[in-house]
Amino acid sequence: MATARPDTLQPRKQPRQARSAVTVAAILEATIQVLLRDGAPQLTTTRVAARAGVSVGTLYQYFPNKQALLYAVLQQQLEAVAATVETACRQHRGQPLADMSDGLVNAYIDAKTTNIKASRALYLMAAEFDTADLLGEISRRIDRAMTAMLATASDVDLPRLPTVTFALRATLAGTVRVVLERGATPAMLKMLRSELPAMCRAYLAAATQRPRAANA
Amino acid sequence: MATARPDTLQPRKQPRQARSAVTVAAILEATIQVLLRDGAPQLTTTRVAARAGVSVGTLYQYFPNKQALLYAVLQQQLEAVAATVETACRQHRGQPLADMSDGLVNAYIDAKTTNIKASRALYLMAAEFDTADLLGEISRRIDRAMTAMLATASDVDLPRLPTVTFALRATLAGTVRVVLERGATPAMLKMLRSELPAMCRAYLAAATQRPRAANA
DNA sequence: ACCTGAACACCGTTCAAGT
DNA sequence: ACCTGAACACCGTTCAAGT
């Protein structure tokens, strides 16, 4: 009884023919373009349809309302971030805690800053409607990947894993968001690249209880 | 050439008589109430005016547009947060670094969680228009207060103060925001109260170079 | 000096008609 | 099966008229 996405946000129908799949892709792409070029207030369904080269009616054949459209775009991007983090976590299993931390932090920053403008646009969109369920799902995926990685640290034992994972994810997501929303100047990004790894490493070290038997 | 607030967001006129001051206060209060009870999509100027007991025309006499109204509400709340942080920073001057850190973190969490519903509502509002200048102004106030405090730590010397302050503020703002936006359950708040101080303390300790001469 | 509320422009959404 | 676009309801904003 928890995660089901409200019906009103479900895509209205699956494209069954090649041309309609193209149409849907064009609409999603047009949404980001309009948001980026014209800004949130100008993000009207008519304008999106026009840029996608279709009529409003066509847009509403695939998305029951404007929110469902934004939801679909947001979902695309968040899943890309989750996938990036999952890969990084898999790659760093069994390594020392500090290496894991750095790997995770850098992967997360990478994922969010490869397309800064798009990321900023998504923060704006995400606030325009209820994204709790989508964010919850993605958060759980990331938490799972992080927890699985942290449990395999080669040098230390990390207690209270759920709590520590939550704090770590909140810090990653929060700081990166603050930087992106405040303009993400080169200076800010540089600080992110140096301080966020330092912060996470220091926190994880403080959260560690006892060094592993072997090479302490 | 930086901080001037755009004219369109300026209150249209100052209330000159007692009754109009009451009107403005009622409109601001009604805005929060409507946002909290009916949600962002139902936050229409007509509805706000109705709840405030005036007509739409009256609302537009004091606020040139809907954004200016939201801007004013946001400004009120952010200034309260800044004031709280400034007080805390003044109180903890000259103390050991760990005490400063805890005092700052707790003051910030206090300020943002005394009225959780209102804080969440504000995050929604802040995304609906350009709040860069307002957020920048408040951020600078908080940075100044934090830097002034951190420079007086009794036990250590903290180098790279601007960078460290920025990272600390981003962490505070970011994590608290993540928690509030994800529902701020008691469990999440408990984790915030325990992990955020630990995180900031660990980071500051790691950022410290050399212990002060006297009592190290 | 302050307030009212009908009127206007515009946006989200629908649906009858087309291919 | 997919697309069109005029039509409808509703919201932000204005302004002539009131006290």
Give the residue from A9, A67, A195 with the most B CB atoms within 10 Å of its CB, the best one to mutate: A195
Q: Is the CB of A141 under 7 A from strand C?
A: no
Protein-proximal nucleotides of chain C (any atom < 7 Å from a CB) = 1-7, 10-16
Pick the residue with more confidence: B35 or A130? B35
pLDDT digits (tens, 9 = 90+) for B130-160: 788 899 999 999 999 999 999 999 999 999 9
Instruction: Please tell me the predicted confidence (pLDDT) of residue B123.
Output: 85
- In this structure, are residues A75 and A134 in contact, taking their beta carbons and an 8 Å threshold? yes
Contact A146, A162 (CB under 8 A): no
d(CA B148, CA B87): 12
Q: Look up residue B20 and give its amino acid.
A: S
- State how far the Cα of A31 lies from the Cα of A73, in Å rounded to an integer: 8
Which residue type occupies A177?
Answer: R
Closest chain A residue to B120, measured at CA: A127
pLDDT (tens digit per residue) in B152-208: 999 999 999 999 999 999 999 999 999 998 989 999 999 999 999 999 999 999 999
Are A8 and A65 a contacting pair, CB within 8 Å? yes
- Two tokens, residue A140: 């759980």
Regions of chain A with pLDDT less than 70: 1-8, 12-19, 209-216
Whether any strand C atom is under 7 angstroms from the Cβ of A75: the reply reads no
- B89-120: pLDDT as tens digits: 999 999 999 999 999 999 999 999 998 988 98
Q: Pseudo-torsion of CA B28, B29, B32, B34, nearest 10°?
A: -100
Q: B152 is written with which tokens? A: 């007086």
Q: Nearest residue (Cα to C1') for C11?
A: A44
Residues in chain B closer than 8 A to A173 (CB atoms):
174, 178
**Residue B34 C-alpha, separation from nearest chain A C-alpha, in angstroms:** 16
Residue B7 confidence (pLDDT) above 60: no
Distance from C-alpha of B2 to C-alpha of B14, rounded to nearest angstrom: 24
Q: How many other C-beta atoms can be found within 10 angstroms of the C-beta atom of residue B210?
A: 9
Tens-digit pLDDT profile for residues A143-167 = 999 999 999 999 999 999 999 999 9
pLDDT at B124: 80
Mean pLDDT of all residues in chain B?
88
B182 CB within 8 Å of a chain A CB:
yes
Q: Could you please report the per-residue DSSP string of chain B? A: ---PPPGGGS-S----SHHHHHHHHHHHHHHHHHHHHH-GGG--HHHHHHHHTS-HHHHHHH-SSHHHHHHHHHHHHHHHHHHHHHHHHHHTTTS-HHHHHHHHHHHHHHHHHTTHHHHHHHHHHHTTS--HHHHHHHHHHHHHHHHHHHTT-SSB---SHHHHHHHHHHHHHHHHHHHHHTT--HHHHHHHHHHHHHHHHHHHHHH--SB-STT-
User: Average pLDDT, stretch B119-123?
Assistant: 86
Among left, alpha and beta (phi > 0; psi -120 to 50; other), residue B4 is: beta
CA distance B173 to chain A (A): 7
**Interface test mutation site (partner B, options A109, A120, A181, max chain B beta carbons within 10 A):** A181
Between the CA of B88 and the C1' of C13, what is the distance in angstroms? 51
Q: B174 touching A, CB under 8 A?
A: yes
Q: Closest residue of A to B207, CA-based?
A: A198
Residue numbers in B near A135 (CB within 8 A): 181-182
Measure CB to CB from residue B132 to each of A167, A179, A183 and give the nearest one: A183
**Nearest Cα residue in chain B from A204:** B199
> Considering the entire predicted model, what is its pTM?
0.87
**Quick check: A159 contacting B, CB < 8 Å?**
no
**Spatial separation of the C-alpha atoms in residues B192 and A84, rounded to whole Å:** 26
Q: Which of A158, A171, A172 to mutate to test the interface with B (most CBs of B within 10 A)?
A: A171
- CA geometry: angle at B82 spanning B32 and B97, to 5°? 140
* pLDDT value for A128: 75
Q: Mind listing the pLDDT tens digit for each residue in B41-98?
A: 889 999 999 999 999 999 999 999 999 999 999 998 899 999 999 999 999 999 999 9
Q: At what angle do helices B97-113 and B66-91 cross, to 10 degrees?
A: 150
Closest residue (CA) to C1' of nucleotide C10 is A44
* pLDDT value of residue A13: 63
Structure-token match 């302490």, residue found = A216
Q: What is the pLDDT of residue B6?
A: 43
